[in-house]
Structure formats: structure tokens, C-alpha cells
Structure 1
Amino acid sequence: MERRDVLADAAIAVLARAGSRGLTHRAVDGAAGLPEGTSSYYFRTRSALLQACVDRMAARTLSEMASGASAGPTTVDGLVAAAVATVGRWLADDRERLLARWELALESTRRPELGAALRAAGARVRERVAATLAALDIAEPERRAHDLVACLDGLAFDQLAGAGRAPRDTAALRAAITDVVRGFTGSS
């Protein structure tokens, strides 16, 4: 793994653990187990460090999507299963990345350049989702991809950080995602 990736992963961990205010070059160096000054050598400014987080998260997400593309869903039920697996992974294995993404989203409301980077990364993810929807002959795949991703993000947010109901078990999560996907696909 390249040093830039190690540092970006450490910055993502710091964002998840300490929030945006806790993201400093010193904290990233410590999280990466590298000498002080290492992260500022690779990412001179805090903005560059934030950009590195966006780039690394997007690269990892797109890589994961590509690795599953060869066995991508071929039915609406397969789409539901893939969506349930994705949200389940976000809540368990990728909890840190999810929290960091939300920290970046909040920070982007005050930093237009960060907002532009997040929108560009999100557009690449939504393009892949739209391609999946198009392959399933679902009408308006671009619009529905945007809405589907937003709904899945909302379900994950409610589970992890929201003030909603008690945590959903896998069956309840599957039921909610089934309702969302079937609503977007027009299937019953």
C-alpha cells in the first residue's frame, strides 16, 4: 500500500473517531504510526488532507463496486440482496468510513471545494448504480439511482447516528430496503 493511502486511511480513522475538528496532521501521523510531519509532507494543507479522504473513500467504494460487478444483480430480488448486504457492511465493517463520510459532508457545507469533490465522487458511485438499474430495465435509472443511494444512506444514518427507532435486525433492514427498491422499480 502506498504511503498516501496509509495516511488517507489514518485520516479517515481520525475523522470517524474525533470528528472534523480532531483532524490534524499530528493526529493523522499518530494514527498512522508515522513520525510527525509525515502527513504534512504528503498533504501540505488541511484542505489537501480532506481531499485525500474523499479520494481514498471514493476509490475504495468504486473498487468494491467493480469487484462485485461481474456477479452484479440480475433481478430485482438480487438488487435487494445486494443493497441489504451493502448497508449491512456499512454498519458493521465500514462503520468508520461511513462516519468519516458524514463528517466530510458536514464540513463540505462550509467548504465549497470539498462539496464539489464529494459531489463528483458521489456521481461516480451513482453512475454505477444507474448502470445496474438500467441493466435491470428499470425506467429512469439515473434519477432512481440518485434516490436509491440517498435512501440507503438515510437508512444507514438512522441506524448508526439517527434518533429513529431502535436498531433494526437484518430482517427489518431487508424489509425496509425491499420496500424502497420495489418502490423505485415499480415491482410488487
Structure 2
Amino acid sequence: MERRDVLADAAIAVLADAGMRGLTHRAVDAAAGLAEGTSSYYFRTRAALLQACVDRLAAQTLTEVPRGGSGPGSVEALVDASVAVVGRWLTADRARLLARWELALESTRRPELGTALRDAGRRIRERVAGALHGLGIADPERRADDLVACLDGLAFDQLAGAGPDRDGAALRSAIADVVHGFTATPD
């Protein structure tokens, strides 16, 4: 793993543990187990460190979304993959999810960060749209926006305790309702 990725992962962990106020170059160096000053050598400013977090989160998320032709072979496979992703976000990748929300909130005060997050989100939604197109789902760009918003909302509700406590079956049911809704014929 490259040093920049190690530092970005450490910054993501700091964001998840200590929030935006806790994100300092010194805290990132400590989290990465590297000498003081290492992160500021690679990412001179706080803005550069935030950009590194956005870039790393986007790269990791893109690995979870199959490319067009290698997408899920069926609508049920898409549901299964979506459930697995949200499940991972809520467990093994919880820090990534918390860090992304910290960045999203900060982007309301930092327009350049908002631009970076929108660009990253656009790349992810384009990849999702490709998978939906591969399944023959109509209007895949709009539906990709809907699916990503649904998955984000379900993850937020579950992790923040803002909505009902869903077990795996309830989570699958909610995602299946949305995805199957894409294939329904309008009356």
C-alpha cells in the first residue's frame, strides 16, 4: 500500500473517531504510526488532507460497484450485492461511513470540499447506472441516483439510530422493494 493511502486511511479513522475537529496532521501521523510531520509532507494543507480522504473513500467505494459488463447478472443479484454493501458499511466499514458523513457536513461550509464530494458521487452513480443499464432497467441514471440515496439513507438510519432498527431481513426487504420498483411496469 502506498504511503498516501496509509495516511488517507489514518485520516479517515481519525475523522470517524474524533470528528472534524480532531482531524489534525499530528493526529493522522499518530494514527498511521508514522513520524510527526509525515502527513504534512504528503498533504501540506488541511484542504489537501480532506481531499485525500474524499479520493480514498471514492476509490474504495468504486471497488464495491461492478463495472457495466461485469455487473450483477440479475435483479436479485443486485439486491444481494446492495444488502452486502450496506451490511459492510454498518460493520466492517463503519469508520468509512462515519468519515464520509463528517466530510459531507463539512462540505456545507467548504465549497471546494462539496465539489470534490459531488465529483466522487457522480463517478459512483455512473458506475451504478452502468450496472442498472446492464440489467435492462429503464432510465438507469435516475434510478442510480435513487438507489444510492436509498442505500445511504438506510445506512444513516441504522447507524445514527434515526430510523427503525432493521435486522438483515428487514434491510433486504427495504432494498428489494426499491430495486424491484425499478422493474415494475407503470399503470
Q: TM-score normalized by structure 1?
A: 0.94
Q: Distance in 2 between matches of 1:22 and 1:153?
A: 24
Equivalent position of 2:168 in the other structure:
170
Within the alignment, does 1:135 sit opposite 2:137 as a pair?
no
Tell me which amino acid in the other structure corresponds to 2:180. R
Tell me which amino acid in the other structure corresponds to 2:40. S
| 1:86-114 superposed Cα distances (whole Å, 9 cap, x missing partner) | 11111111111011000000000000000
Deviation at 1:72, TM superposition (A): 2.7
Aligned Cα RMSD in Å?
1.5
Equivalent position of 1:38 in the other structure:
38
Q: Distance in 2 between matches of 1:47 and 1:19?
A: 15
After TM superposition, the structure 1 stretch with the greater mean CA deviation from structure 2, 78-87 or 101-110, is: 78-87
Tell me which amino acid in the other structure corresponds to 1:107. E
CA contact (8 A) 2:71 2:134 kept: no
Note the 1:90-169 alignment, pairs <5 A.
Answer: 90-165=89-164, 167-169=165-167
3-state secondary structure, aligned to 2:96: helix
| 1:131-168 superposed Cα distances (whole Å, 9 cap, x missing partner) | 01111111110011011100110000000013222x21
Deviation at 1:70, TM superposition (A): 6.8
Equivalent position of 1:186 in the other structure:
184
Deviation at 1:74, TM superposition (A): 1.6
Unaligned runs of 5+ in 2: none
Give runs of ≥4 in structure 1 deviating > 3 Å.
68-71
> What is the number of residues matched between the two proteins?
185
Unaligned runs of 5+ in 1: none
CA contact (8 A) 2:69 2:131 kept: no
Pick closer, same or farther for the CA change 1:107–1:60 going to 2, 3 Å.
same
Deviation at 1:35, TM superposition (A): 1.1
3-state secondary structure, aligned to 1:19: helix
3-state secondary structure, aligned to 2:117: helix
Note the 1:64-75 alignment, pairs <5 A.
Answer: 64-66=64-66, 72-75=71-74
* Identical-residue share of aligned pairs (%): 77
Q: Distance in 2 between matches of 1:110 and 1:74?
A: 41
Q: Distance in 2 between matches of 1:8 and 1:2?
A: 10
Q: Distance in 1 between matches of 2:126 and 2:10?
A: 28
CA contact (8 A) 1:148 1:184 kept: no
Within the alignment, does 1:54 sit opposite 2:54 as a pair?
yes
Deviation at 1:25, TM superposition (A): 0.5
Pick closer, same or farther for the CA change 1:69–1:10 going to 2, 3 Å.
farther
Q: Distance in 2 between matches of 1:14 and 1:69?
A: 34
Q: Distance in 2 between matches of 1:56 and 1:65?
A: 15
CA contact (8 A) 2:12 2:96 kept: yes
